[in-house]
Amino acid sequence: MKYYAGIDLGGTNIVAGIVDENFVIVASAKRKTALPRPCDAIVEDMATTVKEAVAQAGISLHDLEYVGLGCPGMIDYQNGVVVYSNNLEFYHEPLGEKLSKHLGLPILMANDADAAAFGEFKAGAGRGSENMIAITLGTGVGSGIIIRSKLYTGFAYGGAEVGHSLLVKDGELCTCGRHGCLEAYASATGLIRMTKKHMEEHRESLMWTFVDGDLSRVNGRTAFDAMRQGDAEGTRVVEKYTEYLAEGIVNIVNIFQPEIICIGGGISKEGETLLKPINRYIGQYAFSRFADKNTVVRIAELGNDAGVIGAAFLKDAFHCR
């Protein structure tokens, strides 16, 4: 049995996993990222976490060919450099070289959303496809694009950011500084903003009871929970949110027409409540609706394991190494 190591470096946690050739995580270790911290301190913790996972798996570092790392930001995967990561405050940081010195192994790197997308492609919702796009609906809208079984990152490693495609001209302000991005409407942050706005305009809404009258307690489930109880405003929020998301996904289908688009993140737990209107929208408005085959939207299957599994198999992710 062959084993592979993957690290999912996030703003909150560092997770390292040992993955077998059947894409099963056989051992893992975790510690807090504890930002803000210098790069070298984070590298030391990543190395320690990998060593702990290796020990739990009952193998040694010598049993590994390399270690894969998914990291937030723009990643120069050819040179193992974090070009820029606003969450980690890294700028042209040779993260791969630094980690390799601690572990004595080659380090393969990718953006964290790309790594998670590749995990879904290899072992989750994208199994059996050649072209797949993964979208993560979290604080922002992350994405990863797989074309002909390889990750697409753009020539300067800043591509595949579908969350920052324009959805509404002069619309809501996005964290990137532009107005009207898909992220500003389809993220959990966008959904929460939309929910609060409807609640403030409709004091009679059942949504107020779900948060005990406290707007600060509104989350991505509030409108969906109210909708299931028959609340009119909760239903309107959900309908408006899914329409924005569906419009963005139709744009993606019209550009790429992948076999599969998978949706992950906390909001994806709504399952068919999201999938039905989105797939219906594709059937009505995607240019490819006239074709014999159409893109299918699915819920991501691997959850938080996607980043570790994808990172562990980065040897397969790029055309050149």
- Quick: pLDDT tens for 169-195: 999 999 889 999 999 999 999 999 999
CA–centroid distance for 155 within its chain = 21
Per-residue confidence (pLDDT) for residue 294, from 0 to 100: 87
Q: Is the per-residue pLDDT at 133 higher than 70?
A: yes
Could you tell me what percent of the chain has a pLDDT over 90?
88
> Model pTM?
0.91
How many other C-beta atoms lie within 10 A of the C-beta of residue 149? Answer: 16
The long-range contacts involving 273-280, CB below 8 angstroms and separated by at least 24 positions, are 273/224, 273/238, 273/242, 274/242, 274/245, 274/299, 275/299, 277/239, 277/242, 277/243, 277/246, 278/242, 278/245, 278/246, 278/249
- The letter for the amino acid at 167 is L
Per-residue confidence (pLDDT) for residue 11, from 0 to 100: 86
Question: Looking at residues 24-46, what average pLDDT do you find?
Answer: 95
Domains of the chain: residue spans and CATH: 3-120+305-316 (3.30.420.40), 128-301 (3.30.420.40)
Task: Give the residue from 115, 181, 144, 114 showing the smallest Cα distance to 260.
Answer: 144
Per-residue confidence (pLDDT) for residue 290, from 0 to 100: 87
More confident residue, 148 or 160: 148
Which DSSP helix (H) or strand (E) runs through 17? strand 13-20
Per-residue confidence (pLDDT) for residue 175, from 0 to 100: 86
How many other C-beta atoms lie within 10 A of the C-beta of residue 194? Answer: 20
Residues forming beta bridges with residue 137, ordered by sequence position: 141
Which DSSP helix (H) or strand (E) runs through 105? none
